[in-house]
Structure 1
Amino acid sequence: MENAGVLMTCPMSSYLEAQLQKRFKLFRFWDAPSEPDFLKHNTGSIRAVVGNASCGADSCLIDSLPNLEIVSTYSVGFDKIDLAKCRERGIRVTNTPDVLTDEVADTAIALVLATLRRICVADRFVRSGLWRNGDFELATKFSGKSVGILGLGRIGTAIAKRAEAFGCRISYTARLKKPNNNYKYCSSVVDLAANCQILVVACSLTEETRHIINRQVIDALGPNGILINIGRGSHVDEPELVSALLEGRLGGAGLDVFESEPGVPEQFLGLKNVVLLPHVGSDTVETCRAMADLVIANLEAHFLNKPLLTPVV
């Protein structure tokens, strides 16, 4: 197993990198002065790719690796992996679900509180010395609000449980109605947005969910509504979100993800009713180590011909 070549697509975790180095023949894609030259000289040695939410394995990379057997992503999302190409080639794919559920759900609630209670603006108010000139303006409460969740999977369910603790009424939409809960099911995201004050995006990114938060959804949420996105940036039509915030057609937004990371629409930067995070929803010491361990465990299982722990394909 120590001779198996593993390509790490970009820097992501020093712990993961060290563990891969111990167990496999590790190739670091970002160290290569020329990607074509690197692939020309090493393509036959690489049997596994380790990517993440921003740098996975597209069709070009997969096509360039004739001996590729498995792609193990250091993320729960796998939209940066060409799954169709992997299925065609018989390449296995794994991700890291469950271990980051609590952290991402916590981040969603933190974004709700920061946006409604204007935590970041209040912090700047104190630091700038403005408090000496008068009190900070009133914010909006979270407790008792109606919360709509787009995608009631592991993370969506964890968000719903946390919001329930604040006395919130929960509604959701998903591909299928979920059994064994008391939440209101809405048949479409527009219906969901029209029936909640806070809309949380927590679904997987697919072609069907790309730009699912469009002008119609935003207008259904309305001028007092809040959008929270801890899914993927491409769930949201960003120009429509920007215009809605600038025109007052939406009350505010809390965003951990963006369509062209690390690029962020410049218009967001001057808005006081938007909270911006650098895609850190799962980034705690504990979770990043657990994610790395799961990547390693999947690779070891594959090379030992054992069942994969968290297979996607």
Structure 2
Amino acid sequence: MPEKVLIYSKFPKALMVRIGQRFELLDAAGKPPTEVFFAGELSGIRAVITAGGTALPGSVMDTLPSLRAIVCYGTGYDGVDLAAAGERGIAVGHSPGANAASVADLAVTLMLATTRRILPADEFVRDGSWAASKPSPLLRPLPGNPGRRVGVYGMGEIGRKIAGRMAAFETEVGYFSRSRQELPYRYFESLEALSEWGDVLMIAVRASTDTHHAVNADILQKLGPDGYVVNIARGSVIDEAALVTALTNNTIAGAGLDVFEKEPHPQGALTGLLNVVLTPHIGGHTADSHAAMQDCVIANLEAFFGGKPLVYPVR
């Protein structure tokens, strides 16, 4: 008989088809498992699949007395209480780098859409303003990419792919990360220094207590009135209220956002701003990325049920 696995977060059913071919899945559909299943059904659950951003505290782990593996679908794991898992002898795995290329692609897409004012340009054509030769201050000439300074905050797998893509656009690339790496980009000792230097701040850092609201009013002020911020990491990294103020007051020129502090409910003020491009957390939402993430989930689960260490553990 296939091993039983609890699906803790709410996932589209299509994403679980391949995994369901190998394991018997009990889908809590994003609800507390004890509200969906009887205690007897949960008592033997040894592994859980979750989305990294979904809160999974020790109190939930305690409702699953046999739980020994938490497998995150995706690279993130910020919602999992790692200390609680460690105390309970629960291994935590994820899908490192599986969606890095698609997330990096979206970061560049958001940067281009924002700096080139693609949404206002699209509307200018659709509403007949172009045909009517109406002037549009939003479509005035703006700086292009050659020589633009792009700062990458976080130089993991996604950050490195963003940097490589931006270098191909003839930009200058700099970065700030927890440690300096052997890379052909300028390293900055602090986020403040990177922001003061850069024209565009690309956020590619993991969510943690250290990065919570790291991009605040002071950082946005350092970017300046010609600066842009792009976030494809986690919404918690930006102080969203400070961002709204900076965008409204022209403290910065614009923003491209795929993630928000409270998803799926970004601050309403953001949706009314013309200098912002918004997407619904779709950075890793490509067919090839999902296939790669599913491969990682399956590999982790098969290793666990085979009595082996997780193939892709959170370190």
The TM-score, its normalising length taken from structure 1, stands at 0.94
Q: Which letter does structure 2 place at the counterpart of 1:234?
A: S
* Structure-2 residue corresponding to 1:189: 191
Q: Which letter does structure 1 place at the counterpart of 2:285?
A: D
Task: Note if 1:178 corresponds to 2:181.
Answer: yes
* Structure-2 residue corresponding to 1:208: 210
Deviations 1:194-216 (A, max 9, x none): 00000010011110001100111
Deviations 1:162-193 (A, max 9, x none): 111111111111111112x2311111111110
Contact 2:6–2:27 at 8 Å: present in 1 too? yes
Task: Note if 1:310 corresponds to 2:309.
Answer: no
Aligned ranges 1:1-313 → 2 under 5 Å: 2=2, 4-30=3-29, 35-36=34-35, 38-55=37-54, 57-134=56-133, 137-140=139-142, 141-179=144-182, 181-312=183-314
Identity, in percent, stands at 39
Deviations 1:225-265 (A, max 9, x none): 00010110000000000001111111100000001000011
Q: Structure 1 segments of 4 or more deviating over 6 A?
A: 31-34
Contact 2:34–2:63 at 8 Å: present in 1 too? no
- Distance change >3 Å, CA 73–CA 228, structure 1 → 2: same
Query: What CA distance in whole angstroms lies between the structure 1 residues aligned with 2:216 and 2:30?
Result: 39
Contact 2:176–2:191 at 8 Å: present in 1 too? yes
Query: What CA distance in whole angstroms lies between the structure 1 residues aligned with 2:246 and 2:216?
Result: 10
Query: What CA distance in whole angstroms lies between the structure 1 residues aligned with 2:53 and 2:198?
Result: 31
Query: What CA distance in whole angstroms lies between the structure 2 residues aligned with 1:199 and 1:31?
Result: 33
Structure 1 segments unaligned to the other structure (5+ residues): none
Query: What CA distance in whole angstroms lies between the structure 2 residues aligned with 1:157 and 1:31?
Result: 33
Query: What CA distance in whole angstroms lies between the structure 1 residues aligned with 2:293 and 2:33?
Result: 29
What's the secondary structure of 1:23's corresponding residue?
A: coil
Query: What CA distance in whole angstroms lies between the structure 1 residues aligned with 2:111 and 2:18?
Result: 36
Query: What CA distance in whole angstroms lies between the structure 2 residues aligned with 1:31 and 1:286?
Result: 24
The CA RMSD measured in Å over matched residues stands at 1.8
**Number of residues paired by the alignment?**
311
Contact 1:86–1:92 at 8 Å: present in 2 too? yes
Structure 2 segments unaligned to the other structure (5+ residues): none
Contact 2:11–2:29 at 8 Å: present in 1 too? no
Query: What CA distance in whole angstroms lies between the structure 1 residues aligned with 2:22 and 2:176?
Result: 43
Query: What CA distance in whole angstroms lies between the structure 1 residues aligned with 2:293 and 2:219?
Result: 34
- Distance change >3 Å, CA 300–CA 127, structure 1 → 2: same
